[in-house]
Amino acid sequence: MSCPKTPHILQEYLADDLTPLAKEEIDKHLLQCEHCASELEVLMLTQSQLANWQAERVPHWDRGMELFRREHRVGKQSSSWFSAWQWMPTAASFAMLCLLIFNTSVEVGDGGFSVSFGSPVSDMDAALAAFEQEQRTEIDSMIARFESRQDTNNLQLMQAVMSQTQQATVENLDQIYAYFEEQRRQDMQLMSQGYQQLADSDYATVQSLQELAQFVSFQGAR
C-alpha cells in the first residue's frame, strides 16, 4: 500500500516554517494514512539516531599558539618595556629615602665632586619641613584626583554591568567574569600610565631633593 502524497506530506512535515493550518491538514492526513505515518516514523527514527552523536575528543594540536606568539612578538616587547617602568617608582622612592635618611649633601669643590652624609647646617631642618609640607599637599591632591577618577570608573562599570545583565535573559557568571577580565586589562593599561606619571613625578621629586640638598650645602658653605 502506498500513497501518492507521501513525499509532499513528509517534506512539509520536516519544514520549519509550517503554518498552523498546514500542520493541522498534515496531521489529519497522517491519522488516516498508514503508509505516510510509518514512513514518517522511520524518518524521525533516522533523525534521532543521527542526533545520538557524542562529541569526539579533539586530538592534541597547537591551537595556532606558535603562529599567534610569533606574530604578536611586537606586543610582547612593549609589555616588557612597561615592566621596566614598573620598578621606576620603587627605585625613585628608595633614592629619595636615602637622601632623607642620610641628609646627603652634594658638594662641588676644588678637589672635584664629594658627597657627605649628616646635616652640615641647622637650616636644613627648616628647609626640609617646608619641602615636606609642600610635597604632602601635592600628594594629597594627587590621591584625591586618583580617587575621584576611580569612583567614576567604578560607577560606569557598575552601570554597564547592570545593563548587560538586564539584557541577558539568564544571568551568567561567565559573562560577568569575562567583562571584568576585559575591565581588568583596561585597568592594567591605566595603571601602567599611572605608574609612568608617578615615576615621572618621583623622578622630579628626587631632582628637586638633590637641588634642595645642593642649595642647602651651598648656603652652608657660604
Partner 1 sequence: MSLIDEDEALIAAALNGSAFAWEKLVKRYESKIYNHGLRLMGNSSDAMDLMQEVFLGVYRNLHRFRGDARFSSWIFRIAHNKAVDLNRKKRLLAGYPVDSDNEGDVFDSFADEEGEEPELELLQSEQNRNIMAMLNILPFEQRLIVELKVFQSLTFEEIAEMQDISENTAKTRFYTALRKLKSVTEEYHVLS
Binding site for partner 1 (CB under 8 A): 7, 10-11, 14-17, 42-43, 45-47, 49-59, 61, 63-65, 67-69, 72, 75-76, 164, 168-170, 172, 174-175, 177-179, 181-182, 185
Residue placing its CB nearer to partner 1 in the complex, 58 or 84: 58
Nine cell digits for residue 177:
567574569
Note the helical H segments in 51-115: 65-71, 73-86, 88-102
5 binds, among partner 1, Zn ion, none (CB under 5 to 8 A by kind): Zn ion
Residue placing its CB nearer to partner 1 in the complex, 38 or 219: 38
33 binds, among Zn ion, partner 1, none (CB under 5 to 8 A by kind): Zn ion
> DSSP letter string over 106-137?
EEEETTEEEEE-S-S-THHHHHHHHHHHHHHH
Least gap, CB of 10 to partner 1 (angstroms): 6
Least gap, CB of 36 to Zn ion (angstroms): 3
Residue placing its CB nearer to partner 1 in the complex, 19 or 54: 54
- In whole angstroms, give the CA distance from residue 35 to residue 14: 17
36 binds, among Zn ion, partner 1, none (CB under 5 to 8 A by kind): Zn ion
5 contacts Zn ion (rule: CB under 5 A) = yes
- Cell 664629594: give the residue: 114
CA gyration radius, the chain: 38
- Cell 613625578: give the residue: 201
Three-state DSSP at 80 gives: helix
- In whole angstroms, give the CA distance from residue 178 to residue 174: 6
Least gap, CB of 82 to partner 1 (angstroms): 12
Is residue 80 within 8 A of residue 65, CB to CB? The reply is: no
In the beta sheet, which residues pair with residue 109? 112
Least gap, CB of 114 to partner 1 (angstroms): 50
- In whole angstroms, give the CA distance from residue 193 to residue 187: 10
Residues 28-57, one symbol each (x = binds Zn ion by CB under 5 A, - = not), give: -----x--x---------------------
Residue placing its CB nearer to Zn ion in the complex, 29 or 217: 29
Which residues contact Zn ion (rule: CB under 5 A)?
Answer: 3, 5, 33, 36
